[in-house]
Structures are given as C-alpha cells and as structure tokens.
C-alpha cells in the first residue's frame, strides 16, 4: 500500500494490494483528471490515458475548443455549468444566482492514517495500516475550496473517497448537488449490477448492459429503502463470479442517494455516487464547510467474489466498531413472529424458560411493550413501560430472564411518532410535515424531525432511562416508514432543502450517543426488515436485520444480494416458524437453520408451540452455530451456485483466512426426478493442501476439490439442505 506523487508527470498513484488508482493534473490551469483504476501498475507514467495529446487538446494548446475539452476530458471531480455536458459531480449556485464552477488543482497533502468525517460514518484506520491523499482544488471566481480525500488500506483492494467543500468567500452559496465520488472510465462494453427490491424482497441482483445515457438508482425515501441500494458494479461482459474485471461502488450513507453511470458520445462511462440532488439544497455560509458522505470504490480482477471480499474485509476491519465487531453474537430469540403485540410478562418468560433450556442465549422483546401499544396504530414516542402487559415492570422481567442465564434485549423505534400518542398531543410540530398540508401516514405513523437537537435529546433521554432501568444488553433499532411531506418547523424557508440530510445527521448523532454512552450494548439496526441495510448504519451497529422475510428459500436470494457487499457477520438472520408468515411456505426446520447460519443466527418463533421434533433440533442447531460461527463471521465467502439464477439449487461456501477449513452450504430448492449427483467446484482452498471432509475417511488435495470438485447426491424432497465441513487433514 502506498500513495506516490510524481512531480514530473504531475500524477498521483494510489497502490492497494492488487490495484492502482491514478490521478493526473494537466494544463496550466490545473485540471484534475482520472487516468487509471485497475490491476496494479509498476512505476510507469500512464497519464497519457487522459488523451490530452489528441484533439481537442487542453485549453492552453487549444483555447478555441475549450468546451470540447471540458466535455471529453476524464474529470476527476466534474463541475457543472461551464461546459462539461455530462452529469456533474457538483453544482453550486452563487449568491447572484449563477450556476458555474470550475475546480482546479491548488495543492495536496499525503499523510499516514485518516481523518474522521465530522458527523458522518466513515471508514477508519491507523497510521500503520492506512494512508490518505488530500487534493485541494479551488474555484478562484467563487473563492470555494474543495478537498478531495482518498484513503487506502493495507491488504485491501479499495479506495475510499469523500469531498469537503469550504466557502472562503464573503457570500453564501447554495449547493444543489455534491457527489461523494465520480470516476470517468473507457467503456469496455460493461455490464452493470444493481440491487433492487421491495418489502420482504430486498437486494435482488440485476445484471444488465451499460447503455448510452444515464442509468442508475436513487432514493427519495429518506433512507435507501427496500427498493434501491446505493451500490453499482460495472463489470466486463465476460466477468464471472471468479474471473474478469469488476468495479464496485458503494456509498457509506443512510439517506437519499444517487448512483449512476452516464455513457457518453465517446464511449466513456462516468460512474458516480452521492447524496441524491433531488430534494437537496444546502446553504453554505461564508467560513462554513460541507462534508459529503464517503464512497467506496473497489476494483477486482477476480470477478464478483473478489469484489465481495474487498468490501467484506474493508467493512469488517475498517468500518464496523465496538465490542461485538470481532465477537460471536449471542443466539437470540425474538418474540415478534411468536406473539406480535399479544404478549405479557408471563408469555415472555414462558418463551425464555423453554429457550434457555435449549441453549438460546438472549430474549429480545420486540414491538409492543410501551405506552398503550396494543397494535401498530398508536404510542410511538411514548417510551414508558406498559405495566398492564409487563406486570412487575421491566426490571422484574429482565431479572427473571437473567436468572435463567439469558441476556435481555429490547426493540425501539426512536425516530417515529404516532398521531395517537402523548408525545404528538404535546408536540404536534415535532413531526415532519408541510404546514397547511395534511401529511401522509404510513403504518399510521409520522416521522420525528430528527434534524432538531432538542428532539434528539428528548428521545435520547427517554430511551436511555429505559436502558438504564434494567440489565438490557441489546437494542433492535427499527424505522418503519419512509420520509415524505418533507418540512421542518425549525428550518427557514431557504434551508428546507437541508432537511433530508440533516435528518440523517440527526439519526447518526443519536446512534453515536447510544454506542458511546452504552458501549457494551449490542445494537442491531432494522427498517421494516432491510430498508436501511447500508454501510452507514454498519458504523453504529455490527449487524442489521436483513429482511422481514424469514422464509429460508426467499432468504437465499436476499442474503446472496446482501452478501455481494456486506459481510455475513452483519446479516441478521433467524429461524422462524412454518408455514412462513410472509410466503406461507413450509420448509424443513433443518434447512431453516442452515440458511440462518449464514448470518447472525437466532430464532423468531414461539418455542413453546412449535412441533416437538423441531424443538428437539434446536440444541443441535445451537451447537452447529457455536461450531461454525467463527469461520462464518471471519472467513472469505464464495458464491458457487445461485438459486436466483438457476431456479433449482443454491450453494455457497466460507473459507478460513488461513485456508485450513471451509464450510459449504448446499440447498436443493427443488427436488429432481431420476437425477445424478451434482458436481460442485469448491473455491478459495489452498491447491497444495490436503483436506478431509468431516465424517469421511479419504482425503483430497485442494486442487482436486476446486478443479474436479465434489459430487453432492440428490436429496429427497424440496427445500432440503446439507452442510459440508472441510478441514485440513
């Protein structure tokens, strides 16, 4: 890992483990261009790739065709309004209403380590394992300064980027658009991968060609939502899971985003990501600065699996924080699908008593314990224990659960307010609404204006009292509706365009307080399932509830899409009861366990009511989790076969970092008549090492398992699964 500046070629080369990223400065004006991102280079100068030696040349050679230059040069951070007619990374309005900006090179700094991003989640690193380049660009006409920041990490093929805009003028400016990263590349007939979805169908993989014009994804829901994801991969048409060039981009942010490509007349592709400009306008007063969220760029020459490994390693080692980052999580049982709102102390203790005997380690009390929350029509904001349900109070319940040897966790939805709540009756102006317009409800609730610190503090006070009132060791932080009717009673008219982003900053501030004041708490984020499963939230919580769809077969696709970017250690996954509450499907209990094993693992059912043979299987599943979780949490994940694509079966494996052990999960979704065994080619093993399959006598070379493969016999029935544990002999 190294960042080098070459005075002669005026270029910066950022070398990661296996990739290089090259930026060049050209022309007397100092335009900053993107030269290269790909397989690691030697010391050669590659700034010729910016094509300044061919028509239309740079303005100092050919001022007459300045616009042709601006419209074709691979700008590192393209500005709007002055002649680059492709999509801009930044658009600023001056105090006299004009939109025009040209940021050019001023200076730079290279240093060890990395600065935090004020108020925002971001990757972190030490002086030993991280290096940063800060490129300072200026617009002399507006006296604006932009600091483009790039960091790289030891052993990881990722470059993280962000932008800080500083107003050094005497006048305010309005920021209409500020992307976190933009990258111009030659198109090589790329495909793109996006993740789309819906409630209970999150993060489905969609691969299509990169066509001309603008294509991408965005959200205007105040979070990324179930529907869209702040991620895109550009990959060679021939790229597969294991081979070929892949570029991945992901935004560390939990609000409205835009991720897009713009394929130009000259077959260049501009890839960018950042805050969605729709609904955004930020007033930057003299002396103030605006910090963009951070974007992650990954290049892999080893196909999609290589890209996933880079994201997983970066997020596990340089994003997720706290006590549980590298720790096995307690196996929990959550009462949501067991009871919904219909529970009391006795019911919860019944579940806990039974669960503790089976080896389950934590009881999580979900929605419905507070105010007069007997259904989802009321009480959000009234964070006081409902003693009608919790007879004896929260402390009694938690103590009783602790006496069983179990931990206790609680559900909260701090960002919300029900119209039928004491909080709303006292403070109707605390909800996000547009005055004079009846705000739309979703799940019969409004969103609290988390841009206001007095509201953040009020809510924090309430929830911290609850958390201090008993031995609560886990919080599930839910968020069950998108933002709409976007108006704040506290912002001036010209600053209303700041609300979406200020809301996200407010949520981040609250979660930062929570993890700082309760450092031993295990936090799990959630948003109506997986509507806010993003890298921003991972900075605060090491795990996120993946989806409200707990059906093992649906989960194969949801978890596959999620694991394209996020480590298995982050994916909230539970075994639930059947017929499944979302799709009505009945799958074997054993298979539900195998699929949940690829995440944090837990239960979401009434353990006192499930069939006895299922209940009897729980101790084995608990043992299975304890046996494999270290490997699953810390290893390299490889996709082998995708049910989403083949409609028959799914297969993936996790290999220990030292290649001494691996676990293959094979799920035969549809049974087949008169079928031979399937041949599965394993991945990631050491070719020269000798391995043994647990339970079998013979040994195999790693190369045999990867090239000749294994035969997995046809299983009898649908939805059947199998684990194959491979150990070094």
Annotated catalytic sites, by residue? 478, 548
Q: Does 548 bind ligand DGJ (CB under 6 A)?
A: yes
Distance CA 94, CA 102 (A): 13
Residue whose CB is less far from ligand DGJ, 101 or 459: 459
Three state DSSP letters for 669-694: CCCCCCCCCEEECCCCCCCCCEEEEC
Residues 671-710 close enough to bind ligand DGJ by CB under 6 A: none
How many residues make contact with ligand DGJ (CB under 6 A)?
11
Q: Does 197 bind ligand DGJ (CB under 6 A)?
A: no
Residue whose CB is less far from ligand DGJ, 131 or 548: 548
Residue whose CB is less far from ligand DGJ, 306 or 528: 528
- Residue 680 to residues 696, 703, 709, Cα–Cα distance (Å): 17, 13, 5
- Residue 725 to residues 640, 696, 722, Cα–Cα distance (Å): 15, 10, 10
Residues 460-499 close enough to bind ligand DGJ by CB under 6 A: 478, 480
Measuring CA to CA, which residue among 666, 676, 639, 681 is closest to residue 722? 666
Q: Does 121 bind ligand DGJ (CB under 6 A)?
A: no
Span from 92-100, 177-185, 313-321, 526-534 in contact with ligand DGJ (CB under 6 A): 526-534
Q: Does 184 bind ligand DGJ (CB under 6 A)?
A: no
Distance CA 293, CA 120 (A): 7
Span from 192-200, 299-307, 521-529, 671-679 in contact with ligand DGJ (CB under 6 A): 521-529
Q: Does 245 bind ligand DGJ (CB under 6 A)?
A: no
Span from 155-163, 254-262, 389-397, 524-532 in contact with ligand DGJ (CB under 6 A): 524-532
Q: Does 603 bind ligand DGJ (CB under 6 A)?
A: no
Per-residue tokens: 505? 């900053």
Closest contact distance (angstroms) between CB of 434 and ligand DGJ is 26
Residue whose CB is less far from ligand DGJ, 446 or 628: 446
- Residue 533 to residues 120, 467, 563, Cα–Cα distance (Å): 16, 24, 11
Closest contact distance (angstroms) between CB of 564 and ligand DGJ is 21
CB 8 within 8 A of CB 40: no
**Residue from 274, 528, 561, 721 that binds ligand DGJ (CB under 6 A)?**
528
CB 551 within 8 A of CB 582: yes
Q: Does 336 bind ligand DGJ (CB under 6 A)?
A: yes
| DSSP letter for each residue of 347-409 | HHHHHHHHHHHHT--EEEE-S-SBTT-SSTTS-TT--SB-TTTSTTHHHHHHHHHHHTT-EEE
CB 120 within 8 A of CB 293: yes
Residue whose CB is less far from ligand DGJ, 411 or 503: 411
Residue whose CB is less far from ligand DGJ, 367 or 614: 367
Q: Does 369 bind ligand DGJ (CB under 6 A)?
A: no
**Residue from 78, 293, 529, 561 that binds ligand DGJ (CB under 6 A)?**
529
Kindly give, in sequence order, each residue whose CB lies less than 8 Å from that of residue 194, ignoring residues fewer than 6 positions away: 206, 208, 216, 217, 229, 231, 232, 259
**Residue from 142, 193, 486, 526 that binds ligand DGJ (CB under 6 A)?**
526
The helix (H) or strand (E) run that includes residue 272 is strand 268-275
**Residue from 367, 382, 400, 534 that binds ligand DGJ (CB under 6 A)?**
367
Span from 55-63, 196-204, 289-297, 525-533 in contact with ligand DGJ (CB under 6 A): 525-533
Strand pairing class (407-412; 362-365):
parallel
Q: Backbone phi, then psi, for 172, in 5-degree steps?
A: -70, 155
Residues 380-439 close enough to bind ligand DGJ by CB under 6 A: 411
Per-residue tokens: 544? 């996120």
Closest contact distance (angstroms) between CB of 465 and ligand DGJ is 21
Residue whose CB is less far from ligand DGJ, 249 or 483: 483
Closest contact distance (angstroms) between CB of 387 and ligand DGJ is 20
Closest contact distance (angstroms) between CB of 654 and ligand DGJ is 26
CB 306 within 8 A of CB 213: no
- Residue, CB closest to ligand DGJ: 367
Residue whose CB is less far from ligand DGJ, 84 or 478: 478
Measuring CA to CA, which residue among 574, 7, 637 is closest to residue 310? 637
CB 363 within 8 A of CB 409: yes
Residue whose CB is less far from ligand DGJ, 250 or 480: 480
Measuring CA to CA, which residue among 403, 411, 405 is closest to residue 343? 411
Footprint of ligand DGJ (CB under 6 A)? 336, 366-367, 411, 478, 480, 526, 528-529, 545, 548
């Amino acid at each position: 890992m190294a960042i080098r500046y070459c005075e002669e070629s005026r270029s910066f080369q950022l070398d990661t483990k296996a990739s290089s990223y090259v930026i060049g400065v050209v022309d007397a004006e100092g335009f900053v261009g993107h030269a290269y991102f790909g397989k690691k280079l030697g010391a050669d100068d590659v700034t010729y790739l910016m094509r300044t030696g061919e028509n239309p040349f740079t303005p100092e050679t050919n001022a007459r065709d300045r616009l042709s230059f601006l419209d074709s040069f691979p700008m590192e951070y393209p500005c709007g309004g002055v002649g680059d007619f492709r999509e801009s990374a930044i658009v600023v309005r001056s105090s006299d209403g004009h939109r025009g900006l040209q940021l050019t090179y001023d200076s730079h700094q290279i240093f060890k380590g990395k600065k935090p991003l004020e108020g925002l989640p971001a990757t972190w690193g030490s002086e030993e394992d991280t290096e940063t380049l800060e490129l300072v660009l200026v617009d002399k006409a507006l006296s604006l300064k932009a600091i483009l920041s790039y960091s790289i990490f030891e052993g990881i093929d990722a470059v993280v980027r962000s932008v800080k805009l500083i107003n050094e003028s005497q006048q305010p400016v309005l920021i209409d658009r500020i992307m976190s990263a933009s990258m111009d590349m030659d198109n090589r007939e790329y495909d793109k991968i996006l993740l789309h979805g819906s409630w209970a169908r999150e993060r489905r993989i969609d691969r299509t060609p990169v066509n001309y014009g603008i294509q991408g994804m965005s959200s205007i829901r105040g979070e990324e939502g179930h529907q869209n994801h702040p991620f895109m991969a550009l990959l060679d048409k021939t790229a597969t899971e294991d081979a070929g060039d892949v570029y991945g981009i992901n935004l560390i942010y939990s609000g409205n985003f835009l991720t897009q490509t713009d394929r130009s007349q000259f077959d260049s592709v501009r890839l960018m990501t950042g805050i969605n400009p729709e609904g955004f306008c930020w007033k930057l007063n003299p002396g103030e600065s605006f910090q963009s969220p951070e974007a992650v760029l990954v290049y892999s020459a080893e196909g999609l699996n290589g890209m996933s490994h880079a994201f997983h390693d970066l997020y596990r080692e340089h994003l997720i924080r706290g006590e549980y980052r590298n720790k096995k999580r307690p196996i929990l049982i959550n009462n949501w699908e067991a009871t919904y709102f219909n529970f009391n102390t006795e019911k919860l203790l019944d579940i806990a008593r039974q669960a503790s005997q089976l080896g389950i380690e934590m009881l999580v009390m979900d929605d419905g314990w507070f105010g007069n929350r007997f259904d989802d029509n009321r009480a959000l904001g009234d964070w006081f224990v409902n003693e009608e349900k919790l007879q004896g109070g929260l402390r009694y319940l938690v103590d009783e659960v602790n006496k069983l040897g179990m931990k206790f966790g609680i559900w909260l939805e701090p960002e919300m307010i029900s119209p039928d709540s004491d909080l709303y009756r006292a403070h109707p102006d605390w909800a996000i609404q547009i005055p004079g317009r009846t705000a739309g409800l979703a799940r019969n609730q409004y969103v609290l204006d988390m841009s206001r610190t007095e509201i953040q503090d009020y809510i924090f006070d309430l929830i911290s009292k609850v958390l201090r009132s008993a031995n609560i060791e886990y919080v599930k932080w839910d968020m069950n509706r998108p933002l709409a009717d976007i108006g704040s009673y506290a912002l001036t008219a010209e600053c209303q365009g700041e609300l979406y982003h200020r809301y996200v900053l407010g949520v981040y501030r609250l979660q930062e307080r929570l993890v700082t004041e309760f450092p031993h708490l295990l936090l799990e984020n959630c948003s109506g399932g997986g509507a806010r499963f993003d890298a921003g939230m991972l900075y605060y919580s090491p795990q996120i509830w993946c989806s409200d769809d707990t059906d093992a077969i649906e989960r194969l696709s949801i978890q596959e899409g999620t694991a394209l970017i996020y480590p298995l250690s982050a994916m909230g996954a539970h075994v639930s009861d059947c017929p499944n509450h979302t799709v009505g499907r009945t799958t074997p209990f054993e298979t539900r366990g195998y699929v949940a094993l690829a995440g944090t693992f837990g239960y979401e059912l009434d353990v006192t009511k499930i069939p006895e043979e299922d209940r009897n299987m729980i101790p084995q599943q608990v043992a299975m989790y304890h046996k494999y979780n270290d490997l699953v949490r810390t290893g390299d994940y490889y996709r082998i076969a995708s049910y989403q694509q083949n409609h028959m079966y799914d297969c993936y494996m996790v290999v220990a970092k030292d290649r001494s052990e691996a676990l293959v999960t094979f799920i035969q979704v549809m049974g087949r008549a008169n079928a031979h065994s399937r041949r599965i080619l394993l991945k990631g093993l050491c070719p020269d090492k000798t391995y043994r399959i647990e339970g079998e006598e013979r040994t195999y070379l790693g190369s045999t398992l990867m090239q000749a493969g294994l035969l997995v016999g046809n299983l009898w029935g649908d939805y059947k699964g199998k684990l194959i544990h491979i150990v070094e002999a």
